[in-house]
A and B are shown apart, each in its own frame.
Chain A
Amino acid sequence: MDTIFAEATPPGKGGVSIVRLSGPQARAIAARLAGDLPASHQAGTRRLRDGDDAIDEALVLAFDAGRSFTGDETVEFHLHGAPVVVSRLSAALRKHGARQAAAGEFTQRAFLAGRLDLTQVQGLSDLLAAETEAQRRLAVQNASGLLGKRATEWREALSEAGALLLADIDFPDEDLENGLIDAALERIVAVRESIEATLAGSAAAEIVRKGFQVAIVGPPNAGKSTLLNRLAGRDVAIVSERPGTTRDVIEVRLDLNGAAVSLFDTAGLRDSDDVVEGEGIARARRTAEAADLRIHLSETGEAQAGLLCPGDLVVTSKADLHPGDGLRVSAQTGAGLDALVSEIGERLAQRIAGAGVVAHEMQRDRLARAARHLREAERSGAEFLAEALWQAIHELEALVGRVDIEDYLDLVFSRFCIGK
């Protein structure tokens, strides 16, 4: 039986996030992160570390097998409520062999272990409804997004590879072209590389790894650098009264309510004949376009029309000089900064929750396993290759849909003249 984990509190929000880990390896895995564990049914504060990386200071509760919700060894981590912390812990748990639980899996285990009575588990119906809704949202996202497009390509290529292998293995006596296995392998390698590339660049991974990227954009001398310095609490950008001082993109990493945020100060956007400044402006635009969130800062409270995306923040600067409504900051007096910070935090939480970090992480897990299956088989014989393909397709099922022998056979018979 696998050891599974899941966030037990609604993702993305809340002061405390609870992650539950259950299964035969639960205590062993938890001990690797927390050092020693409290006795069963006792809580204790532990500093969670993954190797040299600190995860969080958390309240840890351990439950022995036979005395827990699922009947198996269980450990609960009560973390500071920030998606990034949950992600970090998830990554560490995965690294030590646990797997993201599917929706309802904890309850299923609990029921199988006889830990729940029937009235208690009727709540599963609601869960199921919620799960369906989450899947639907995810499916819509995937179908319209890059991942959906890739998944379609993977399905096609993997089905073809399966068909080629089937033709090679199950029709040895037919007059087929040579090199079927090589042709299958070519497709398998291509899919594996594409999966790995997707994993390396997936949006959720980026946010977790690089932090949430926020760009401050606006006309020259709007006070962008001053705001950055104020938020960072140190002088990093050159601040002067002369427009066009910031000629490059300046990055500051911040910890905003426990979440990693990269804040970018960009060159003021204006038409310029200065070659160096022109280049700075071009970079500013690229950075702003690639960011997860843009703060449009100006004295007039206007956005940069060409760069405005839904969910961006529009902020009036130098609020001490220009009274009015809306989000307003004064870097000089510090007024409005707390409100801005909490607004950024709010947007960040929405983004991560909206993208469904859990769903994404489950997908990441599956993608990674699929790629591993394919990679391991690349140098072995046809039947091993077919076996790996089978495993990989199974992992990708949620993304690419079910592929089975009938799909292979359809392709084989449309492509090859087989039969006697």
Chain B
Amino acid sequence: MFHVKHEFDVIVVGAGHAGLEAAAAAVRLGRRVALVTLSRDDLGALSCNPAIGGVGKGHLVREIDALDGLMGRLGDAAAIQYRLLNASKGPAVQGPRTQTDRALYRQAVSGAVSAMSGLTLVEGEVSELVLSGNGVQGVRLADGTVLKARGVVVATGTFLGGVIHIGNDQRPAGRWGGAAADRLRHQFAELGLPKGRLKTGTPPRLDGRTIDWAALPRQEGDAKPVYLSFLTEITANRQIACGVTQTTEHTHDIIRENLGRSALYSGNIEGAGPRYCPSIEDKIVKFPDKSSHQVFLEPEGLDDTTVYPNGVSTSLPDEVQLAYLRSMPGLSSVEMVRPGYAVEYSFVDPRSLRRTLEVAGFDGLFFAGQINGTTGYEEAAAQGLVAGLNAALRAQGRPLFEFGRDQAYIGVMIDDLVSRGATEPYRMFTSRAEYRLSLRADNADMRLTPLGLDLGCVTEARRLSFERKHDEMARGREALRTTRLPAAETENGETPTRPWTTAYEALGQGDGVARVAEHGARPEISQAAWEALCAEACYAPFAERQKKEAEKLAVGRQVSLPPAESLIEIPGLSIELRHKILAVRPATLVDAERIEGMTPAALALLLIQARQKSAA
């Protein structure tokens, strides 16, 4: 089949969460897309924890959804438990999370894929990229077939040089049952893309029928679910509870006695693992004083007896895993469906990428997902969306798009990756966002759907729903701003500066929601629009300040700087600053401003250099 050639606009390599979202985004932009996967069965696999969302991660899901991506809707279609994390805190740090049914998720993905017109699903292994000069032309499959496209998104997850470790056993693979993409890895090396090594792990899976549920406390979901997608209005499935157990002193003894047999502690693994997702071995070694660790028992589906024990990922041999599991309450006669393992894999240093996720120096070649050093479905999907959008824009000959740190968590994540790289698998935290009070899960649609409409990646149904909510909010805001309530007493008993406050201002104060309702000032708008207004009012004073800062940033971002090599020739810069400029390689004035030790005078010099270069 060497002669066979197929023409596409965009090719996506890998159909995990990043690949799927990339393909879907390119399809929404009206592109002809090939989605290449090793096996059709990999579509929509939740290879680790069967949960989507959370604090930070839930923010990402909402942003993907606001741009009409898939993850929020797929998650809602498969949700069997909803919990709003940080419900007792302010809306800025609340994150929606679901427990999902693996089978239902797969089903939802497969439904979404078959509904995409313009998408061709290709089963096969990509053996190399087809490049010409500094541009990508397509990919060649192992059977010799060549697929041509102007945009290629590489989203191969942990398949790149993946090694599975269980005790002392090692075998090549990415996810369970997958084959390693070694040939691609060699090609990346030839292209001069720097890489690093990371690891991650997963716990054993349990047979739920062998768990004594009656002996264990339960964790129920929220009575009033908060959905992942802005479009979801009803709960799709029966909801379930999780069990809670914990490790015991006996568990810890078993693990301590067998530490030498853990791949992590035998020196077989060189990659750095995520500190926020330690193996049970790590927890016991690093926190010897803690006599017990909590373990959540999460059913993987309504009709699935498999249970995911959240909190005991491991790379100990099978029999040790079984022994320590059985030392926990409720698990005395548990059976394993399959053992836990550690995966070590290669990633491409994301500092070789631009904020569009395009490889610097290779037009049309994009990287997304775990291959960029991130962890998590949500992080992968968000990158997939960006890479897919930009690959489509590239194919259309349109200017590429990048998200700012002040616009979206997506922008924060990509900026962190391309400027700092990854020393451990990168996970989203709200604390990474300096505009946290403005970048909320509740306002992701107001922030990003208009952008998506401009880009053309938002479909009709969402546009209508967005515009309705937007108009309702505008109406409600106006009503609240023109309604006066008596001023609340100040906490220290001082006389307020004026005897009234607007209902909008009141809404942002402690008991504001109740006060507004008391005075009959709640506007006649939908519950969703009302809640969004409440959150907005809560952070209004901060939004103003952050907006100003963001405007300043926007100006600085317009100023692009010449290459670092010419910047450091500027007389007067300290040696330290020169080193930092070489390491950080600032592309714009804003990048330079963020360099530690940068002063206004030094910044002015950089600016002069920039003007000189652009004038020359």
Contacts and interface: CB of A to CB of B under 8 A. Distances in A.
Interface in A351-394: 379, 381-384, 386-387, 390
Contact of B601 (A128, A165, A408, A418): A128
Given A402-B596, A420-B296, A108 B603 contact: yes
Contact of A125 (B313, B430, B572): B572
Contacts of A127: 572, 601
A186 to B, nearest CB: 19
Residue in B49, B293, B599 with the greatest tally of chain A CB atoms within 10 Å: B599
Contact of B290 (A122, A381, A384, A417): A417
B93 A390 contact: no
Interface string A106-138: 011001100000100110111111011000000
Contacts of B194: none
Contacts of B542: 387
B323 interface: no
B602 A169 contact: no
A381 B89 contact: yes
Contacts of A124: 572, 601, 604-605, 608
B86 interface: yes
B231 interface: no
Interface in A160-185: 162, 165-166, 169-173, 175
Interface stretch (B112-120, B272-280, B344-352, B386-394): B272-280
Contacts, number: 128
A405 B601 contact: no
Contacts of B436: 383, 386-387
B54 interface: yes
Greatest chain A CB density within 10 A among B430, B436, B604 is at: B604
Nearest to B510: A380
Contact of A390 (B283, B434, B599, B611): B434
Contact of A175 (B85, B274, B293, B572): B293
A413 B603 CA distance: 35
Contact of B572 (A102, A128, A166, A420): A128
A125 B605 contact: yes
Contact of A169 (B89, B311, B600): B89
Contacts of B605: 124-125, 128
A323 interface: no
Given A104-B599, A128-B573, A128-B601, A417 B287 contact: yes
Given A111-B608, A172-B55, A417-B287, A386 B599 contact: no
Given A128-B573, A413-B276, A420-B311, A408 B89 contact: no
Contacts of A419: 274-278, 283, 311
Interface in B410-463: 429-432, 434, 436-437
Contacts of B537: none
A405 B293 CA distance: 26
- Please report whether the interface of chain A is mostly helix, strand, loop or mixed according to DSSP: helix
Nearest to B570: A125
Given A169-B93, A405-B429, A417-B293, A128 B608 contact: no
Most chain-B CB neighbours within 10 Å: which of A128, A379, A381?
A128
Given A387-B542, A419-B276, A170 B89 contact: no
Contacts of B600: 102-105, 108
Contacts of A126: 572
A157 interface: no
Interface string B277-319: 1100001001100100110100000000000001101000000
A131 B573 CA distance: 11
Contact of B86 (A125, A162, A165, A169): A169
A240 to B, nearest CB: 56
B571 interface: yes
B324 to A, nearest CB: 16
A379 B490 CA distance: 13
Contacts of A402: 596
A255 to B, nearest CB: 36
B277 A420 contact: yes
Contacts of A175: 293-294
Contacts of A250: none
B574 interface: yes
A112 B604 CA distance: 9
B121 to A, nearest CB: 33
Nearest to B428: A170
Determine which residue in A128, A162, A173, A383 has the highest number of CB atoms from chain B within 10 A of its CB, and name it: A383
A409 interface: yes
Contacts of B286: 417
Interface in A74-125: 102-105, 107-108, 111-112, 118, 121-122, 124-125
B599 A413 contact: no
Contact of B276 (A128, A384, A405, A418): A418
Contacts of A129: 572
Contact of A108 (B89, B90, B290, B607): B607
B92 A108 contact: no
Q: Among the interface residues A162, A175, A418, which one has the most CB atoms of the partner chain B within 10 A?
A: A175
B414 to A, nearest CB: 16
A63 to B, nearest CB: 21
Interface in B79-136: 85-86, 89-90, 92-93
A420 B290 contact: no
Contacts of B90: 381-384
B56 interface: yes
Interface string B185-225: 00000000000000000000000000000000000000000
Contacts of B56: 170
A102 B599 CA distance: 8
A175 B283 CA distance: 13
Interface string B522-553: 00000000000000000000100000000000
A169 B572 contact: no
A124 B605 CA distance: 7
A131 B601 contact: yes
Contacts of B290: 417
B497 interface: no
A125 B571 contact: yes
A386 to B, nearest CB: 7
A104 B573 CA distance: 13
B558 interface: no
A131 B599 contact: yes
B287 A413 contact: no
B614 interface: no
B89 A112 contact: no
Nearest to B311: A420
A103 B598 CA distance: 12
A382 B93 CA distance: 9
Nearest to B275: A413
B203 to A, nearest CB: 8
Contacts of A384: 90, 437
Given A107-B601, A170-B431, A118 B612 contact: yes
A173 B85 CA distance: 7
B604 A169 contact: no
B538 to A, nearest CB: 9
B591 to A, nearest CB: 15
A383 B604 contact: no
17 contacts: A104-B600, A107-B604, A111-B607, A111-B608, A112-B607, A118-B612, A128-B602, A131-B599, A170-B431, A172-B55, A381-B89, A383-B92, A383-B436, A383-B437, A418-B278, A419-B275, A420-B296
- Closest 10 pairs between A and B when the two form their complex, measured CB to CB: A104-B601, A125-B572, A108-B604, A128-B572, A175-B294, A417-B287, A413-B275, A170-B429, A420-B310, A420-B311
Given A108-B607, A128-B599, A420-B277, 12 more contacts: A104-B601, A104-B602, A105-B600, A128-B572, A128-B601, A169-B431, A170-B430, A383-B436, A387-B437, A408-B431, A417-B293, A419-B276
Interface of A: 102-105, 107-108, 111-112, 118, 121-122, 124-129, 131-132, 162, 165-166, 169-173, 175, 379, 381-384, 386-387, 390, 402, 405, 408-409, 413, 417-420
